[in-house]
Structure 1
Amino acid sequence: MDAIDAAFAAIDRRGFLPEGTADPRVDAPIEIGHGQTNSQPRTVADMLRLLQPHPGQRVLDVGSGSGWTTALLAHLVGASGEVFGVEIVPQLVTFGARNLAATDQPWSSIRAAAPGRLGLPQFAPFDRILVSASPPELPQQLVDQLGPSGRMVIPVAGEMLLVRRVGAEVEVTRHGRYRFVPLHA
């Protein structure tokens, strides 16, 4: 079992869904309220494999929603790492933080997004950035938060991008079409 599969086995999606929602075993996005979704497991797995998080890394999870991806990332980086979830919907900040706390991974947290600002520049640089909402174009605000050799996975205008910092340069590769809720600053 690879690290991604092990994280999925350890972090049960059921603990991140509102009561009475669809079957968490279904490979589909599930509504979590406020116009947001808990992403399709196959999509999350694809994104995590592109991201390649490793133990000890500092990770930013943009659009943390119910906290599921934040918890998966926390499992992947372990107690020697640090995961910062950020969410724009206040009710989901509370919901996600409560769900995340139940996983007993104190090296991870979810906080409210600052209006008009993407990510958490005050905590940058990050080794990895996962974005679970789609902007119309690649946001420079997030690219600027990538550390040396950093990787960001982000759906931009329906296309999954892997953004890698290589020295002073930034390389972008495309990895298929996906649908996500819009990213708002």
Structure 2
Amino acid sequence: MSHVQDPDDDAVARAMRAQPRARFLPRRRRPFAAQDRPLPLWHGQTSSQPSTVAAMLRLLQVNPGAAVLDVGAGSGWTTAILAQLVGPTGEVLGVELDPELAAWGAANLYARGMGWARIERAVPGSLGRERAGGWDRILVSAAATELPAALVEQLGPSGRMMIPVRTTMHLVERTADGVTVSTHGSYSFVPLR
């Protein structure tokens, strides 16, 4: 008899419980943390809907020890969940374009005590961040108008990236044969700038 994995008790669900959304929200938004909807932060940015984050992370398949880039890190919540998934042998870099949000997200993440993860301000006019050997996983929490070649190029061997393009979630996989792209439902995200 095969064991069926309970989706409420997989690695993603456990990581999300370990990094409660409320700790990454402005004080006045914390009472709404358990609601399954995006919540406003500031400057038009949002904390993503928890079910959307879970779906993206399950498709991303983040393993312990992985090197992960979190594009649009915002409040630091997804960066902290990714850090929980990779553990102290991994590396997570969150990048956020809004300087105020990047500083606040970095402080939120620092308070969680995971020294293998950090948030930095994104370089205006540049997507992602180059890394020697590429990234094992890339999570993008903002919608691109088309699949950005610059981020695809930052994927390492056997790398995976989750990115919304317009309203459709895309999984990009780098294999020995090249790059494959599959789609996984419709979502609404703030625009990738």
TM-score, with length taken from structure 1: 0.97
| Structure 1 residue 44, shift from structure 2 partner | 0.1
Matches within 5 A, 1:1-185: 1-21=9-29, 23-122=32-131, 125-184=134-193
**Rounded Cα–Cα distance in structure 2 between residues aligned with 1:18 and 1:94:** 13
Q: Which runs of 4+ in 1 moved over 3 A?
A: none
Task: Give the counterpart letter for 1:147 in structure 2.
Answer: G
Task: Give the counterpart letter for 1:144 in structure 2.
Answer: E
| Structure 1 residue 163, shift from structure 2 partner | 0.1
Task: Give the counterpart letter for 1:76 in structure 2.
Answer: L
Secondary structure of the corresponding residue to residue 20 of structure 1: helix
TM-score, with length taken from structure 2: 0.93
**Rounded Cα–Cα distance in structure 1 between residues aligned with 2:69 and 2:131:** 12
Secondary structure of the corresponding residue to residue 78 of structure 2: helix
| Structure 1 residue 122, shift from structure 2 partner | 4.4
Task: Give the counterpart letter for 2:93 in structure 1.
Answer: F
**Rounded Cα–Cα distance in structure 1 between residues aligned with 2:11 and 2:178:** 29
| Structure 1 residue 123, shift from structure 2 partner | 5.3
Secondary structure of the corresponding residue to residue 165 of structure 1: strand
Q: Calculate the aligned-residue CA RMSD, in Å.
A: 0.9
Range with greater deviation from structure 2 (103-112 or 114-123): 114-123
Q: Rate the CA distance shift 1:124–1:87 in 2: closer, same or farther, 3 A.
A: farther
Task: Give the counterpart letter for 2:90 in structure 1.
Answer: G
Identity of aligned residues (%): 55
Secondary structure of the corresponding residue to residue 121 of structure 1: coil
Number of paired residues? Answer: 184
**Rounded Cα–Cα distance in structure 2 between residues aligned with 1:13 and 1:182:** 22
Long gaps (5+) in structure 1: none
**Structure of larger gyration radius:** 2
Secondary structure of the corresponding residue to residue 101 of structure 2: helix
| Structure 1 residue 169, shift from structure 2 partner | 0.5
Q: Rate the CA distance shift 1:112–1:123 in 2: closer, same or farther, 3 A.
A: farther
Secondary structure of the corresponding residue to residue 95 of structure 1: helix
Name the structure 1 match of 2:3: none
**Rounded Cα–Cα distance in structure 2 between residues aligned with 1:159 and 1:46:** 13
**Rounded Cα–Cα distance in structure 2 between residues aligned with 1:84 and 1:124:** 15
